[in-house]
Amino acid sequence: MRWKVRPEDFQVEEIVELPLRPGGPYVLYRVRKRERTTLEVQGELAARLGVPQRAVIFPALKDREAIAVQMAAVRGRGPDRIQGRGFEAVRIGEADRPLRPQDLRGNRFVVRLRELDDLEVERLPAAVAALAIHGFPNYFDDQRFGSWSPEAGFIGRPLLLGQAEEVLRIYLTVPMVGDPPEVRAFKSEARAWWGNWAAMQERAPRPSNYRSVLTFLKDHPTDWRGAVRRIPARLRALWVDAYRAWVWNRALRWVWVSLPHLEIEIRGERFPVPLEPPQEMEAIVGLPHRRARYESPWSEAMAAALAEEGLSLSHFRKGALLEDAPPPTRRPVWCRPLALDLRDLQPDRREALLVFELSPGSYGTLLLKALAAWIRNV
């Protein structure tokens, strides 16, 4: 069973409660993007509108490998339609305020499954029915971990530890899984030029933040902290948040690995999917934060996950490389689909269409991984 064979095979649309008010100071856009990240589209919209990138507000991020429809807000006025490479934004009204994550009510997915084998054709209806009843662990999936490198791990870890030179080494010379091809090409070449900031700047993608960082290093060759602070604060915060999400995933694994379970893979590691909804399924557990408090079994699980990383909750604070402490985010540990329907099963073509809705922040790809595990192992 495969999904995302073609971009149109995986479609997601935000379900949003819009704060519409005619004449309000914010313009709302419905953005449809294809093979572009939300951050890429945000930057291009900002350039088209002549505003800073932070002035274009998306309440959530969507990954590159899908056709995604999401909402954006911009303070001021804007044209009725904006088109760019891989996206189109259509003005839908005005609002009193920008959009917030709390405005999201969920996401609707339409997924074409392809290359089903005989076992998958046979078991798919029952597996879909079981998943609709049981749900699945609300892990963060691969898309959240674009700042991970097989060589160096998560760049968020040295950022929290205040290891500025290591942050720069990863940022400038170590390919991360979410890097686009031109960045990976630059990093593979830049490794041999470490310390020769002028030569690295000549080879850096144009335009890019790499050039700003390297311009600073040319004038301040060993001011690692100053150079790290030339990296946009939002990007550094995203790196830390991705790392927190990874630690959170590992804490869930500690709790559920002793239960009868299936297994799925997330960023190269195996994680348990309990065969029955676990006793702790109603829990809402905070991501690592210096003031986070946990009850058993999550206190023991989080302590174990942090110990694996050589960290404690006290590390998740603002510091020399972070202007702001990570927010006290909380997340349900279990996800039950709001809707899950199998449509258009075609055994002769080895295809099916899956339509489902998930709560905000839950991953459609994780549902598909859990579905594949149910088919193979139950």
Query: Quick one: tokens of 138?
Result: 């609300």
Q: Give, in order, the Cα–Cα distances in Å from 126 to each of 108, 133, 176.
A: 22, 11, 38
DSSP label of 60 = S
pLDDT averaged over 10-residue windows placed end to end, the chain, 378 residues: 90 94 94 92 92 91 88 92 94 94 94 95 95 95 94 96 96 94 92 93 89 95 95 94 98 96 95 93 95 95 96 93 92 96 93 96 96 89
**pLDDT at residue number 242:** 97
**pLDDT at residue number 63:** 80
Query: What predicted TM-score, i.e. pTM, was given to this entire model?
Result: 0.91
Rounded Cα–Cα distance for residues 107 and 68 (Å): 10
Write out pLDDT tens, residues 22-42: 999 999 999 999 989 898 899
Rounded Cα–Cα distance for residues 168 and 172 (Å): 6
Cβ pair 40, 72 in contact under 8 A: no
**pLDDT at residue number 112:** 96
Cβ pair 25, 74 in contact under 8 A: no
Query: Quick one: tokens of 358?
Result: 């998930």
CATH code of 19-98, in short, is 3.30.70.3160
Q: Give me the helices (H) in 78-232, please.
A: 118-134, 156-161, 164-173, 181-190, 197-203, 209-219, 224-228
- Where exactly are the structural domains of the chain? 19-98, 155-235
Beta bridge partners of 108: 13, 357
Rounded Cα–Cα distance for residues 112 and 21 (Å): 37
CATH code of 155-235, in short, is 1.10.1510
Domain 19-98 identical in fold to domain 155-235: no
Rounded Cα–Cα distance for residues 298 and 333 (Å): 11
